[in-house]
Amino acid sequence: MHALIIRTSILGENSSSNQLIDHWLANHKPSQVTERNLVSSPIPHLDAERFGAINAASPDNQQAPIQALSDQLIGEIEAADEIVIGLPMYNFGVPSQVKAWMDHLARAGRTFQYTANGPQGLLENKPVTVIATRGGAYANTAHDSQVPFVKQFLAFIGLNDVSFVYAETLASSEKRPEALATAQAQLSAA
């Protein structure tokens, strides 16, 4: 199995999501791993120039490297059999690094197309495990803006087999060990 690992935490080795990704890797032992660390190797945020380059039908010399990055990110998803995304919650949303990654994945005619029935994802569906780490408890509440957004985006590009593993209340020193142990158990069973 070829796993694509997406690390997004600004906390490095102290990151709960990174620790849980490491737990997943240790338990699933994929034969091949591609890691994309969106913090140590950030993807530029979208602007008009970048948007034009990503979507150019015939990119010029300035646009070509920008579109090549988008192609590389899409290729990593296409090559993987399974995707694991570490997703800490920062200020009630996804890390901006994740949004920049998504902006480079959304390409009309490449990862999605509009049809008479609405948008259709063009990527081959495969399992995606999202490890959602949060200081508070947000799962299944109106304050969880991450899950609907991430599910909607992934489905938009064709990835519908998405499961979430939560490690919540991590800001509480009393609840943190149990929250991490529960998430580890779910990742081991998955």
- Is residue 89 marked as binding? yes
Please name the residues in contact with 38: beta carbons below 8 A apart, sequence gap of 6 or more: 6, 7, 8, 95, 97, 98, 100, 101
Residue 51 confidence (pLDDT) above 80: yes
pLDDT over 70 percentage in the chain:
100
The residue with tokens 């901006």 is: 96
90 is in an annotated binding site: yes
Residue whose tokens read 């949004």: 99
Tokens coding 110? 């490449």
CA distance 166 to 41: 25
Is 188 among the annotated ligand-binding positions? no
Rounded CA-CA distance 5/148 in Å is 21
pLDDT tens-place string over residues 116-148: 999 999 999 999 999 999 999 999 999 999 999
How many other CB atoms are found less than 10 A from the CB of residue 84?
A: 27
Rounded to two decimals, the pTM is 0.94
pLDDT category of residue 153 using cuts at 50, 70 and 90: very high
Residue 115 is labelled as binding a ligand: no
37 is in an annotated binding site: no
pLDDT, residue 13, reads 87
HSE, side-chain direction, 13 A CA sphere, residue 97: 18
Average pLDDT in the 42-69 region? Answer: 96
Average pLDDT value for residue range 26-35: 96
- Does the pLDDT value for residue 151 go beyond 90? yes
Distance CA 179, CA 27 (A): 18
Domains and CATH numbers, the chain: 2-189 (3.40.50.360)
Pairing between β-strand 32-37 and β-strand 112-115 as defined by DSSP bridges = unpaired
Q: How confident is the model at residue 40 (pLDDT cuts 50, 70, 90)?
A: very high
Structure tokens at 93: 């949303």
Q: What is the pLDDT of residue 178?
A: 94
172 assigned binding-site residue: no
Question: 31 a known binding residue?
Answer: no
Tell me how far apart the alpha carbons of residues 95 and 97 are, in angstroms, rounded to a whole number.
5
125 is in an annotated binding site: no
Q: What is the pLDDT of residue 147?
A: 95
Q: What is the pLDDT of residues 62-102, one digit of tens each?
A: 999 999 999 999 999 999 999 999 999 999 999 999 999 99
Residue 44 has pLDDT above 80, yes or no: yes
- Residue 37's pLDDT is 97
Q: How many helices (H) and strands (E) does the chain have?
A: 6, 7
Q: What phi and psi values does residue 72 have, to the nearest 5 degrees?
A: -65, -45
To the question of whether residue 55 is assigned a binding role by annotation, the answer is no
